[in-house]
Structure 1
Amino acid sequence: MKKQTIITTSIVAGAVVLAGVGVAIALANAPTEAPDAAPATTATTAAEAPPTADALATPEPEAAAPYDTATALLFLVEEEKLAHDVYVTLGELWDSNTFTNIVESESTHQELVAPLLEARGIADPRSTEVGVFTDPDLQALYDELVARGSTSLAEAIQVGILIEEKDIADLGVAIAAEDEADVVSVLERLLAGSENHLEAFERRA
């Protein structure tokens, strides 16, 4: 009887062991599922990013420099010198009275501006040498106008017209902005002279 019990117990124990092994084998052979992949994120590059309101805004234009009497006088006295020097150069080149008759007037224009500089303690920027200027823009303009006027007398006359038209425009701007009576008086005299010179050149054109 004891022998039978022992055998039965051994059989049950063996079955339990075999069942455990079977479960272990089943678990080992079961297909494993990969963990869910992290959701894809859409990276937005700088190039793809929508433009901001600041990027779409129209750039503000640079404000024009405020009018200044000293700056205006420095420019205008050299602008009168430019007219004088161009007319001296082209008058000698073409032996034309149209230029030589106006040269003296351009000297007078400069001498009208010079006292305004002195009264304000502003150093006179003019060179005593023909065709030499402190203002780089006027220097470039002188070189360009002389080169053009040297091609023919007809072109030289057109240069005279351009100079006087520019003088008239610049003087008009200065007169409108200026509030010092002595300066306005001189600028108006320069304007009248330039208008007369323009008429003289236009008659020859």
Structure 2
Amino acid sequence: MKKQAIITTSIVAGAVVLAGAGVAIALTTAPTEAPDAASTTVATTPAEATPTADTLATPEHDAATPYDTTTALLFLIEEEKLAHDVYVTLGDQWGSNIFTNIADSETTHQELVAPLLDARGIADPRSTEVGVFTDPDLQALYDDLMARGSTSLAEAIQVGIVIEEKDITDLSAAIAAEDEADVVSVLERLLAGSENHLRSFERQA
């Protein structure tokens, strides 16, 4: 029996906040004011913000979706592949050792998750091609992060920070919801690794 994601609702300063399994969604409703008869304000849509760890979606950790070990493992192994592929590519582009060194660790992380898939008869979703993903959200995320990281070394370091912060968020949520001991053990090792990687990128920022 898998643990179900817990959904909580709270109202804070006019915002309705839904939180569950490590994901918070805020829906803010501004007070309605009568329009000024003397003037009319035309709203403009701001340019799309650069993705951050707080704005990146994690499908299986959506507050309305019950946690499932199979879904989580499929997502997490490709998330580790995403980190590896981004770091390999940015390392080649910028010649910075931090990307090469951490990419090797991301390979190890994938090797830790793969036996969990095998033990459960779950087909490995990973492509052997760099930058190619089965999960469409991870594919879109990879494309966005590579576009950002290719602009400068400083932005590439920020991409590393975003990836590791997202990994930490996703792994923490999975650990909290998981009840299979072998999975928890592996995810805790991945979490410790991501925390170390984050500190390394932050020292370079």
TM, length-normalised to structure 2: 0.70
Report the residue type matching 1:71 in the other structure. Answer: T
Distance 1:103 1:174 in 2: 22
2:66 counterpart letter in structure 1: P
User: Hey, what's the Cα distance between the residues in 2 that align with 1:102 and 1:163?
Assistant: 12
Instruction: Describe how 1:108-119 pairs up with structure 2 within 5 A.
Output: 108-119=108-119
Tell me, which stretches of 5 or more residues in structure 2 are unaligned?
1-24, 26-61
Find the counterpart in structure 2 of residue 96 from structure 1. Answer: 96
Q: Report the residue type matching 2:167 in the other structure.
A: D
Equivalent in the alignment of 2:136: 136
| Structure holding more strand per residue | 2
Matched position secondary structure for 1:127: coil
Distance 1:202 1:68, change over 3 A: same
2:199 corresponds in structure 1 to: 199
* Higher alpha-carbon Rg: 1
Secondary structure of 2:144's counterpart equals helix
Give the distance between the partners of 1:105 and 1:89, measured in 2 at CA: 15
Instruction: Please give the alpha-carbon distance, in whole angstroms, between the structure 2 residues aligned to 1:101 and 1:175.
Output: 26
| Aligned residue type for 2:194 | S
Richer in helix (by share): 1
**Rounded Cα–Cα distance in structure 2 between residues aligned with 1:63 and 1:127:** 28
Q: Which residue of 2 aligns with 1:28?
A: none
Correspondence 1:176 to 2:176: yes
What is the aligned residue count? 147
Q: Deviations over 1:134-180 (max 9, x none)?
A: 00000000000000000000000000000000000000000000000
The aligned residue for residue 86 of structure 1 is 86
Letter in 1 for 2:163: I
CA deviation after TM superposition for structure 1 residue 71, in Å: 0.2
* Aligned residue in 2 for 1:105: 105
Greater length-normalized contact order (CA 8 Å, ≥ 6 residues apart): 2
Q: Does 1:64 align with 2:64?
A: yes
Q: Which amino acid aligns with 1:144?
A: D
Q: Are residues 86 and 186 of structure 1, via their aligned partners in 2, closer, same or farther at CA, if it must alter by over 3 Å?
A: same
CA distance in 1, matches of 2:100, 2:79: 18
Aligned pairs for 1:41-56 within 5 A: none
What's the counterpart of residue 125 of structure 1? 125
* Structure 1: gaps (5+ residues): 1-60
- Corresponding position: 1:160 with 2:160: yes
**Counterpart in 2 of 1:151?**
151
1:63 Cα deviation from its structure 2 partner: 6.4
